[in-house]
Amino acid sequence: MNRRGPWTAALAAILLSACAAGPDYHRPDVIAAMPVAWKLEAPFRESTPADTAAKGPWWQPYGDAQLDALQRQALAANATLAAANARLAQARAQVASVSASIFPQVSLGVRGSRQKISANRPLSNYASPNFSTVQNEAALQFNVNYEVDLAGRVQRTVEGAEASAQQSAADLENTRLLVTAELATTYFNLRALDVELDVLSRSIALQNRALGLVSSRHDLGAASGLDVAQQQALLDATLAQVDVLRKQRSQFEHAIATLTGTPAPSFELPADLAAVNSTALQFSAPIGVPSDVLERRPDVASAERAMAAANAQIGVATAAFYPSVILGPSIGVDSRTLGSLFSASSLLWSIGVSATQTLFDAGRVRASVDFANAGYDATVASYRRVVLTAMQEVEDGITGLASLDRATAQSQQAVGSARRVLDMATARYEGGASTYLDVISAQQSLLTVERQNAQLQGQRLVTSVFLVKALGGGWPQAGDAAGQ
């Protein structure tokens, strides 16, 4: 009898397990199709980022203490972030669970019983009489179960779980970026409304004074009732706009409460005109070459890890074409008395290999492989879409922010011009050189350009947040790499 036969077969199976079914993962080369540079406009500058560079807190260059406090609160209490953290913990636990399949599973079985055997049980040999027997049984047995990874099914499963965990980590980073960007966007929209409300408040005070002036002139017979009515109508229209803006501000305030994990009824954010200031308007982000975005954006990293996980599933499905080999040795003791349980005569053991090969499944395995291949193709298309979207968002942010810079500068000049026009129109009216309609028109023009200027400042800040999000987070400023 050849005693080395089972061991030789087991060793051969273990050696074959080094070969994993399915294709090895290679990241698709999307960089080759990318432009070599952005369409940069001042004040942007080129930058050479590293994937390991810190991406936050990216909001600190705005220099707003209130925004900093809100961001810290959101990172600590936001429900969406908590859910993303939990999903990452699940993914890591799944990796630990799947990785355990690489090692043998060892179990201990203990059995104790007292039983009576029937004297009338069916006979296995008519020449042997049956007897009723009462006896004890005690058994202690170690069992080992090990799947030989012949086709690399376990290896591919572990690869897929690790890629999924990395994807969950990238999703968490992306969620953190989206939450902080949404909070900053909402905050700046609210602060822009604060400026607009201040503009309306100053306009209302101006219009009230003008109403008093024209009413006095009407009482003296120097102005008509139409002048008074026109000024009153302008004042009423301006007052109506206040309530509309307050409603919008309340909605932004409630959104900030939700993002920071606070019930909306118990949250209040006082007005602060200093949030939209010249320091914030000077905010700029360094721009690297387009391929750098692939190393920065967490959603791109997530899409790439999804491809790796889908590729591993092809290997898992392909492994079903190969035999399933299980090693199952066991050793233990079995006795009818406790005193002799650990004696040499009570020893029992077994060693064996079981192999299963599917011969016919009506195309089920092939269909599973086709399904996995199609799933991988879908993730490749999704990856390409995410990359192209990243390119679009960065370019939109660059051009949009540069355009808003110019528009804001022009708007500030327009505010100065409108104020001079109002002063001239008022002086001409008081001197009797023009009608009051010129004054009303100048007041409306000033209100329009001041509100437009406030809106442009808010849009400028919101667009800068959009650009930071498009770039995948914060960037080291000039001189940081040198330790400055």
Comparing 276 with 147, the larger pLDDT belongs to 147
Cis peptide before 57 (omega within 30 of 0): yes
- Give the whole-number percent of the chain exceeding pLDDT 90: 25
Residue 304 lies in a domain: yes
Q: What is the mean pLDDT of residues 284-292?
A: 59
CA separation for the pair 334, 337 (Å, rounded)? 9
Give the per-residue pLDDT at 279: 44
- pLDDT tens digits, 91-135: 999 999 998 888 899 999 998 898 888 888 887 777 788 888 888
**Nearest to residue 301, comparing CAs of 387, 381, 378, 376?**
387
Q: Which domain holds residue 46?
A: 12-103+150-322+363-470
Least confident of 191-195, 232-236, 271-275, 455-459: 271-275
Residue 149 banded pLDDT, cuts 50, 70, 90? confident
Listed ranges 56-70, 76-90, 267-281, 397-411; the one with the highest mean pLDDT: 76-90
- Tokens for 156, please give them: 């591919």
| Residue 247 lies inside a defined structural domain of this protein | yes
**Average pLDDT of the residues in 26-51:** 51
Which letter, b or e, does each residue of 108-134 get, where b requires 16 or more Cβ atoms within 10 Å of its Cβ?
Answer: eeeeeeeeeeeeeeeeeeeeeeeeeee
Contact in structure between 379 and 310 (CB atoms under 8 Å):
yes
Mean pLDDT: which of 381-395, 432-446, 461-475 is highest?
Answer: 381-395
Q: Say which CATH number the domain at 401 has.
A: 1.20.1600.10
Q: What is the pLDDT of residue 29?
A: 64
Query: In total, how many domains does the chain have?
Result: 1
**pLDDT per position as a tens digit, 128-142:** 888 888 888 889 999
Is residue 178 in a domain?
A: yes
Return the pLDDT at 35.
Answer: 58
The pLDDT of residue 52 is above 70: no
Question: Does 396 map to a domain?
Answer: yes
User: Could you tell me if residue 284 is inside a domain?
Assistant: yes
Structural domain contains residue 137: no
| Residue with tokens 């890591």, as numbered in its chain | 92
pLDDT greater than 60 at residue 381: yes
The reported pLDDT for the residue numbered 294 is 64
Name residue, tokens 């994807």: 167
Average pLDDT, the chain: 81
Instruction: Read off the pLDDT of each residue in 52-66 and give the average, rounded to a whole number.
Output: 75
Determine the pLDDT at residue 91. Answer: 93
Q: Given this model, what pLDDT does residue 75 score?
A: 93
Of 80-89, 154-163, 388-397, least confident by mean pLDDT is 388-397
- So what's the pLDDT on residue 11? 45
Decide if 145 is inside a domain: no
Count helices and strands in the chain by DSSP H and E runs? 10, 6
pLDDT at 263: 93
Given a cut of 80, whether residue 13 has pLDDT beyond it is no
